[in-house]
Chains A and B, each alone.
Chain A
Amino acid sequence: MSDRIPILRIGDILLVSVQFDLEDQTVLNLQEDLAEQIVAKSAQGVVIDISALEIVDSFVGRMLATVAAISRVLDARTVVVGMRPAVAITLVELGLSLGGVSTALDLEKGLAKLRRPASSASQ
């Protein structure tokens, strides 16, 4: 049994804070848990904090896109926050631009982005 990443609820927003480097199985568990939690808590938004993440491979990169897509289907918006410069460079070099995933510099700005109505956030 590999580690599970805790999913915290703040109001109608779910907060996923990744504190250690991810293994493939952990990532799959997270996708599953998150989908369940969004439905169970009827969440409007998901914030994934990866500020502690130093290493990202293509699998994790795709996971972020997948999670965003899953939550969009379940009518919740996803914001990835706190990506490190080195991680961003790696993802770009891997050719993953995470189109369709919104991002923010830190947790605070991410939450602010979710609180803004959807129409203005896309501008």
Chain B
Amino acid sequence: MAKQDNAVDLVGLLAAEKQDLAASWVREVQESLGRRVGAAELDRELRELYEALVEALRQGAQDVHAEQMSEVRALLTELSRNRARQGFSPSETAISVFALKTVLEPALRDGSADTVRAYLQLGRILDGLGLFTIETYTQTRDELITAQAEQLLELSTPVVRLWDGVIAVPLVGTLDSARTQVVMEKLLQALVDTGSEQAIIDITGVPAVDTQVAQHLLKTIVAARLMGAECTVSGISPQIAQTIVALGIEFDGIVTKASLADALKLALRRSGVDMVAHAGVQR
């Protein structure tokens, strides 16, 4: 149990010069982070962490995954989550842990061999904690990215009702198979929910159409037809029309219109709505 005794030595040091060490730790981290974290907040965070770390070491914790470290881990998780959300870089996050090593260095100057050994052991523990911080940081970032991707997917595929029995999907941005799947499902569900027999897919906002995108569109249209609705594709720009012909894509039996207005006119005529312009109205 020699090791543990060494650790206890260091614990003694950590605990005895608590105020000084914690204060210089806070200063060190504060310098590296600049002014982006409030001084009071940082002070509170690090002091809590310090207390928890000393307590864990006193109980004989040997590495990051020890049971005694659970409090430390919880605090670190919160810290790195906050850093990740506030947009700090991974090194800026990890420095919070590694700065403690720098702070402890002066204790080695007149230290015995035991103190050095204890310092090295603590160094190992701190390295582990640093890695843990990075891991949590990355995890949080990944979660953020996933959540944003989902939001984007939801945002980018609205189904709007243009008239009784006429719905439209304005597509904006590049189409890939995942998005088309969502569009397809949403469109078909909207057909059922609204009881619409006419659907318009508007691709004004789609920058390019290739064979794959065309394939996806065709699938959606055929599926809508299977359910008893008619689909029109609108918003085909001159360039896209040229691409479609050049690629040899055949939109067999699918009505295409240049603008959404034309498509709406057609859909209304198909559903038996007549539009009449009154001569007396000034425009």
Query: A residues within 8 Å of B by Cβ?
Result: 80-81, 83-85, 87-89, 91-93, 97-98, 102-106, 109-110
Contacting residues of chain B (201-244) with chain A, CB-CB under 8 angstroms:
219, 222-229
Instruction: Evaluate contact between B197 and A103: CB separation under 8 angstroms.
Output: no
* Between-chain CB contacts (< 8 Å), 9 pairs: A81-B228, A84-B227, A85-B191, A88-B188, A89-B223, A97-B225, A103-B225, A103-B227, A106-B228
Instruction: Evaluate contact between B229 and A85: CB separation under 8 angstroms.
Output: no
* Chain A residues, CB < 8 A from B228: 80-81, 83, 102-106, 109-110
B225 to chain A, nearest CB (A): 7
B127 to chain A, nearest CB (A): 51
Bound-complex Cα distance A87 to B228 (A): 13
* Chain B residues, CB < 8 A from A81: 228
* Chain A residues, CB < 8 A from B192: 84-85, 105
Bound-complex Cα distance A110 to B192 (A): 14
**Which residue, B189, B224, B228, has most C-beta atoms of chain A within 10 A?**
B228
Instruction: Evaluate contact between A92 and B222: CB separation under 8 angstroms.
Output: yes
Bound-complex Cα distance A92 to B228 (A): 14
Number of B interface residues at 8 Å Cβ cutoff, please give it. 18
* Chain B residues, CB < 8 A from A105: 191-192, 195-197, 227-229
Chain B binding site: helix, strand, loop or mixed by DSSP?
helix
Which listed residue (A85, A104, A110) contacts B188, Cβ 8 A?
A85
**Which residue, B192, B196, B197, B226, has most C-beta atoms of chain A within 10 A?**
B226
Bound-complex Cα distance A83 to B219 (A): 16
Determine the residue in chain B with the shortest Cβ distance to A123: B270
Mark contacts of B172-197 with chain A using CB atoms, 8 A cut-off: 1 yes-contact digit, 0 otherwise. 00000000000011001101100111
* Chain A residues, CB < 8 A from B195: 105-106, 109
* Chain B residues, CB < 8 A from A91: 223, 226
Which listed residue (A83, A97, A109) contacts B197, Cβ 8 A?
A109
Which listed residue (A87, A88, A109, A110) contacts B224, Cβ 8 A?
A88
Instruction: Evaluate contact between B225 and A89: CB separation under 8 angstroms.
Output: no
* Chain A residues, CB < 8 A from B229: 105
* Chain A residues, CB < 8 A from B196: 105
Contacts A85-B185, A89-B184, A105-B192 given; indicate if A98 touches B197 (C-beta within 8 A). Answer: no
Which listed residue (A103, A109, A110) contacts B226, Cβ 8 A?
A103
A113 to chain B, nearest CB (A): 8
Instruction: Evaluate contact between A92 and B197: CB separation under 8 angstroms.
Output: no
Determine the residue in chain B with the shortest Cβ distance to A89: B223
* Chain A residues, CB < 8 A from B219: 92-93
Determine the residue in chain A with the shortest Cβ distance to B197: A105
Instruction: Evaluate contact between B227 and A97: CB separation under 8 angstroms.
Output: no
* Chain B residues, CB < 8 A from A109: 195, 197, 228
Bound-complex Cα distance A83 to B191 (A): 11
Please name 16 further chain A to chain B contacts, defined as beta carbons within 8 Å, in addition to the given A103-B228, A104-B197, A109-B228, sorted by A numbering: A80-B226, A83-B227, A85-B188, A85-B192, A85-B223, A87-B226, A89-B184, A91-B226, A92-B219, A92-B222, A97-B222, A97-B226, A105-B195, A105-B196, A105-B228, A106-B228
